């Protein structure tokens, strides 16, 4: 079952998704979750940090898995997903370090690292939160990805490499590959949240929700999931007909 929830402004969107997350964590303090990076989750993470500071939510018993990671760039590059998640969230909350699981593309045997990562999840995750790329990718599962794909090394679509300049900075080396949670692990999760904001995401949000399900738009493969939520602000929802929306 897919739920699409629209919020009037980016501020409402970020506040309400952060509040939902805090409520989720309060209900399930030992939740195991995969979290995304990039521009989209940052205002949501700010709200979550406030909730933790206010004592409304705590990561003390949670397990956090990094959704994906760029390969072939310096381990300390500021655009690495690990660096972004730390800056936006983990440096400011009470998650014990041993409860944070990273993907390490510099591993000598990347396939073995990915298999160990999947094994460390100890079964389906409770929550996977995802951004969405303009080509419909989720994590680094680019167009053409099979729903059976597992955590693995992937080549990035050229547009994804180009778009990563906003994380790494002008003139910096950009990644052409990465490692990502597979669609199999994402689809196995109990709950999936997809977050999108801004009019740059309006076309892909519409296509993912209304065009036929297709591996060419990997996010559309999540429509068959039993508990999948799209949280969108008004700009990202601007090409959706009113019938598919509930108001946040
Ligand atoms: P963004 O990236 O949040 O920086 O827009 C989303 C994505 O490409 O998955």
* Rounded distance from Cα 203 to ligand 1 centre (Å): 14
Question: In this prediction, what percent of the chain has a pLDDT beyond 90?
Answer: 96
Q: Give the residue, out of 34, 36, 38, with the most ligand 1 atoms within 8 A of its beta carbon, to mutate for a pocket test.
A: 38
Report residues whose beta carbon is within 6 angstroms of any ligand 1 atom.
Answer: 38-40, 131-133, 137
pLDDT one-digit tens code per residue, 74-111: 999 999 999 999 999 999 999 999 999 999 999 999 99
Residue 130 banded pLDDT, cuts 50, 70, 90: very high
Q: Is the pLDDT of residue 243 over 80?
A: no
**Quick one: tokens of 36?**
């995304």
Provide the angle, in degrees to the nearest 10, between the axes of the packed helices 42-53 and 10-27: 50
Closest-CA residue to 163 (of 214, 102, 204, 207) = 204
Beta strand pairing status for 127-130 and 177-180?
unpaired
Q: What is the pTM of this model?
A: 0.97
Average pLDDT over residues 113-141: 97
pLDDT one-digit tens code per residue, 58-76: 999 999 999 999 999 999 9
* Rounded distance from Cα 77 to ligand 1 centre (Å): 18
- How many Cβ atoms are within 10 Å of 207's Cβ, its own excluded? 18
- Known catalytic residues are 68, 135, 137, 142
pLDDT score, position 248:
72
Residue 118 banded pLDDT, cuts 50, 70, 90: very high
Q: What is the 3-state secondary structure (H, E, C) of 174-185?
A: CCCEEEECCHHH
| Residue 165, strand partner residues | none
Mean pLDDT of the chain: 97
* Sign of the four-CA dihedral 11, 8, 195, 124: positive
Sorted by sequence, the CB contacts under 8 Å of residue 40 that are 6+ apart come out as: 131, 132, 195, 196, 197
Average pLDDT over residues 113-138: 97
Residue 245 banded pLDDT, cuts 50, 70, 90: confident
Which residue, by CA, sits nearest to atom 8 of ligand 1?
A: 133
């Amino acid at each position: 079952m897919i739920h699409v929830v629209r919020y009037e402004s980016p501020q409402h969107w970020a506040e309400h998704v952060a509040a939902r997350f805090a409520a989720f964590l309060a209900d399930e303090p030992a939740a195991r979750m995969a979290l995304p990076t990039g521009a989209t989750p940052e205002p949501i993470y700010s709200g979550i940090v406030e909730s933790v500071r206010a004592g409304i939510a705590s990561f003390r018993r949670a397990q956090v898995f990094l959704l994906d990671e760029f390969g072939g760039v310096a381990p300390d590059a500021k655009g690495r997903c690990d660096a972004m998640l730390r800056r936006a969230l983990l440096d400011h909350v009470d998650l014990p370090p041993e409860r944070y699981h990273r993907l390490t593309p510099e591993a000598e045997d990347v396939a073995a690292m990915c298999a160990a990562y999947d094994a460390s999840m100890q079964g389906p995750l409770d929550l996977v939160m995802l951004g969405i790329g303009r080509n419909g990718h989720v994590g680094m599962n680019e167009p053409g990805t099979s729903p059976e794909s597992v955590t693995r090394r992937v080549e990035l679509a050229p547009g994804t490499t180009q778009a990563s300049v906003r994380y790494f900075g002008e003139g910096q080396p950009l990644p052409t590959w990465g490692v990502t949670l597979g669609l199999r692990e994402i689809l196995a999760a109990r709950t999936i949240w997809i977050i999108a904001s801004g009019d740059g995401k309006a076309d892909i949000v519409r296509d993912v929700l209304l065009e036929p399900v297709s591996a060419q738009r990997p996010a559309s493969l999540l429509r068959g999931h039993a508990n999948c939520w799209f949280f969108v602000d008004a700009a990202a929802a601007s090409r959706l007909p009113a019938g598919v929306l509930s108001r946040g």
